[in-house]
Amino acid sequence: MHISSLFKALLLITLLLSFQSWADDSYNPVKFKRDLRFQDPQFMWTTWDRVFKEDGGFFSNANVGDLERILEAHWADARKKNNLDLMIKAAIPLAMVYHNQAKFTHGLPFFEFLFEHEKQVPAYYWRHVLIKLEEEYRGKNEIEKAIPIRRLRIKLGFIKTFWEIYRECGLFEDALRDFIQFQPVPARGDYRRLFYLQRLGWLYTDLKNFKKARNIYAQGYREVAEVRAASKATYLPRELRYWEGLFKGLMAECDMELGNYTHAIPMLRFDIQSSLDNPDNQIGKEISLARAYLHRKSWESAKYYMDHARILMAQKVIPTVKLMMLDAYADYYAAQQQYDSAYFYNKALHAYRDTVNAHINRNKSILLLGQLELAKHREESLKNKHQVEVYSESSKLQEFKIKLLSLILGAIIFGSILLYVNFRQKGLLNQNRIQLDLEHERNAVLLKELHHRVKNNLQVIYSLLNLQKRRTKNIESVDLITALQNRIQTIALVHNNLFQSDEMEFVQLDSYVRTLVEHLQQMYAQEEVNPVQIYFDIQDSIKLRFERIGTLGLIINEIVSNAFKYAFVEAEQGILRIEIDQEGSQIRVIIEDNGPGLVDEINRNSNLGMRLIRILSEQMGATYTLHQSQGIKHLITFNV
């Protein structure tokens, strides 16, 4: 009887311990579904609060769906009861569950609710609420709301840097500088050091310094072993295996950017297998793995990983990964010669990239405005401090010179008024100047963005024509499409030059003409023994407004295209000379070939290209003439 009672007691203790282990095992896929104790809000909160403070590993990707449904039920019940304490205890874990799945649309209202009820949030969680609230705002591109949260975190001593804000605004050099100067460097063997190396590598990746980034990721991979040795039983082996996989995958992505695909696939597969509980990392690495398979022309494998990543991506907001996904699909369908689908994804890629760039430019403007407000605050503080010093000095003078009280007091008041007016005027002038500079910079960014979008739209049209040309068998249709592509490229080059240069409305004629002619030479290049020799003699100081250089570019396009098509058919050595000079306000353009053409014959058989030349010359007020020399000589003169 005694033995039976002892056996029952041991069995009961074993069951309790196994139940406790089951409740704490974050990787158990049926943890929340089978253990009915989690249906009780108080048990849920007590367990969450205890495990979260130990290592934060309360749930996994395998069981997060069950946990999410239970917490949503707890939140609905707390709201129904209008019990603020229960609402707080349900909102904290539910908000973090949504956040860890990148469901920012779902999680943000709960973090805003917790922010509004700061006094009811346990002190330990306040730091985490602010961190994730800022990340949610940044994830949704609401940078104007993220900046005040960052300032509050700095004020409370939770953080010292602004590097994430700079990174979201596309200011990668500022982000790196801020990170290196202010981010504390954890000691070797410290688990936090892995985060430090990962983020430092991110910043060098953003700056396209892939060699430096890879070295940092390799260092992180080596230091995982040091963390394992130092932490002993603090972190589970699978957690450190995740970091090993993460750094391997990051190294593989750098290798791919550097053109080395040899070892990228096994490294990325190792990362994905180690990241089954981190779907955000898994999605990005599956897209990279798909790109690697595309490079090897393993189409089925590439399509499998792209489709799987797209399923995992549902309801998530990760702009960089979405851009990679659209780009991979466009390349895949282009390789499969499914040009309609390729065009669909290419168009979606350009549209989403423009949206992301627009958000980045908007964030830059908001950040600049925030810096302006800080500058105003510092200026006003200094002015107030100066006024206090002036009044303090006047008080001392009154004490020492009582007989001249009236005179001194009047002088101080008068001097203070003058100083105040002077400082006020200077402050307003300085503020207006800063505001004008900011507005000018914003307008310049918007104008560049306009040129960039026009260039992209023209490039899409160019690509559409290219798809059509590949499907067309008729030679005349191919020639017609090529001519249209050249005219589109001529206009696109103008917008591209304006986008890449600091000029607002003028384009350097020399570089523009050289780029245009080199493009035409590639379009009409043939495998021949004696390729066409092109000689440029262009005055390098000539600049034209963008609307005039576009018209001139179309004229040059037609002349040079005709030369490549007709002038060098029979010539043993084709020669094309292009001379452009300026005397006073007049510009002279000479384009001469050594082909067999005759002026009378060209005038008699005038084609569309020649008619365009004459129409465009008349439109820009230029004089156009043809001359017979060793071949055909075109002369165009016009006033600037």
pLDDT of the residue at 222: 93
d(CA 98, CA 94): 6
Which ranges of the chain have pLDDT less than 70? 1-29, 54-62, 232-238, 315, 317, 363-407, 409-411, 415-416, 420, 423-424, 426-432, 434-456, 459-460, 462, 493-495, 497-504, 525-530, 569-572, 598-606
How many CB atoms are closer than 10 A to CB 143? 23
> Do 254 and 213 contact (CB within 8 A), yes or no?
yes
Residue type, 53: K
Alpha helices per DSSP H over 298-338: 299-312, 319-335
488 assigned to some structural domain? yes
Regarding whether 125 and 200 lie in a shared domain, the answer is no
Q: For position 22, what pLDDT does the model report?
A: 42
201 and 128, same structural domain?
Answer: no
272 belongs to a structural domain: yes
List, in sequence order, the alpha helices (H) in 472-528.
475-500, 509-523
* Nearest one of 353, 330, 367, 510 to 442, comparing CA atoms: 367
Would you state the pLDDT for residue 465?
Answer: 73
Do 627 and 545 lie in one domain? The reply is: yes
Beta strands in 29-185 (DSSP E): none
541 and 633 belong to one structural domain? yes
Statement to judge: residues 508 and 556 lie in one domain:
yes
Note whether 203 and 81 are same-domain residues.
Answer: no
8 A C-beta contact, residue 347 and residue 326: no
Give the residue among 638, 522, 505, 494 at the shortest CA–CA distance from 580.
Answer: 638
Beta bridge partners of 533: 575
pLDDT value of position 317: 65
Q: Same domain for 150 and 252?
A: no
Instruction: With respect to residue 119, please indicate whether it lies within any of the assigned structural domains.
Output: yes
Q: Please check whether residue 354 lies inside any domain of the structure.
A: no
632-639, strands of its sheet edge to edge: 533-538, 575-583, 586-593, 632-639, 623-628
pLDDT score at 552? 87
Backbone torsions φ then ψ of 83, nearest 5 degrees: -100, 105
Residues in the chain: 640
Q: Give the number of domains in the chain.
A: 3
Structure confidence at residue 388 (pLDDT):
44
Give the span between the Cα atoms of 4 and 388, in whole angstroms.
87
**Which letter does DSSP use for residue 39 in this model?**
G
Nearest of 63, 41, 68, 56 to residue 128 by alpha carbon? 56
Which of 276, 291, 322 is at the close of a domain?
A: 276
Same domain for 150 and 240, yes or no, is no
Can you give the CATH number for the domain in which 97 is found? 1.25.40
Does a structural domain hold residue 6?
no
Do residues 482 and 617 share a domain?
yes
Q: Looking at the structure, do residues 639 and 503 belong to the same domain, yes or no? A: yes
Domain edge (last residue) among 259, 276, 293: 276
Instruction: State which residues form the domain around 513.
Output: 472-640
Do residues 200 and 144 both lie within one domain?
Answer: no
Domain boundary among the residues 220, 255, 276 is at 276
